[in-house]
Structure 1
Amino acid sequence: MPLIANTPEPPYYAVIFTSLRTDIDDNGYNEMAARMVEFAAQQPGFLGVESAREEVGVTVSYWADVASIKAWKAHAEHQEAQRLGHQQWYQHFKTRIARVERDYGI
């Protein structure tokens, strides 16, 4: 996947996931994160993803519509990742969903 998602003409939706990790060293986190990107890319309505992790992790996934976002949230593998995130990987996180009305770039 490209580092910057190639999204279609708006409108579309962005799911912005910001997180602070726990002190637990990896414990399967990197493998699960890679699997989630692979699975998300196979979901109807998925448009792309961008991610960066330093002190605060930020992942933005792009979706065609709210129904696609809800279906991804309910996906069994994603639910397992959420469970593990709550139990061991994140000390704090926030998910925001926004409608993208305009985009531009070079």
Structure 2
Amino acid sequence: MSEIAKTPQPPYYAVIFTSERSEGDQGYEEMAEEMVNLASVQPGFLGVESAREGLGITVSYWESLEAIQNWKQNERHLMAQKRGKSDWYLSYKTRICKVERDYGFEKN
């Protein structure tokens, strides 16, 4: 996950998940990879970007609020959320926003 997500023309939605991890892995890396793979096949998923150096920030992009809600209620994702609270995170915050405009630069 080291590239900028290719998203369509706005509007679309972004889910920004910011987290502080607890000590130890306890299966976190495997679950994080599984969640990205699972999210990527959900209807309405557009892409994801993620970085972690102490503070972790993952931004996933979605076609609609309905697609986001469906992902939040995915059974395997619900299990991962529960493990996150019990095993992996000291704290986290989720923010959902509508992308009205985007622009960028890419060197040839």
The residue number in structure 2 matching 1:15 is 15
Alignment RMSD (CA, Å): 0.9
Shift of 1:85: 0.1
Q: Tell me the TM-score normalized by structure 2.
A: 0.95
Query: Which 5+ residue runs of structure 1 have no aligned equivalent?
Result: none
Shift of 1:3: 1.3
Amino acid at match of 1:105: G
Amino acid at match of 1:4: I
The residue number in structure 1 matching 2:31 is 32
The residue number in structure 2 matching 1:87 is 86
The residue number in structure 2 matching 1:44 is 43
Amino acid at match of 2:104: G
Q: Distance in 2 between matches of 1:30 and 1:2?
A: 15
Amino acid at match of 1:76: E
Shift of 1:32: 0.2
Deviations 1:14-38 (A, max 9, x none): 0000000011x11100000000000
Q: Distance in 1 between matches of 2:62 and 2:2?
A: 16
Shift of 1:2: 6.0
Q: Does 2:101 correspond to 1:99?
A: no
Structure 1 ranges of 4+ moved more than 2 A: none
Q: Tell me the TM-score normalized by structure 1.
A: 0.97
Q: Distance in 2 between matches of 1:52 and 1:63?
A: 19
Q: Distance in 2 between matches of 1:61 and 1:45?
A: 11
Q: Does 2:22 correspond to 1:53?
A: no
| Alpha carbons 2:2, 2:50 under 8 Å: kept | no
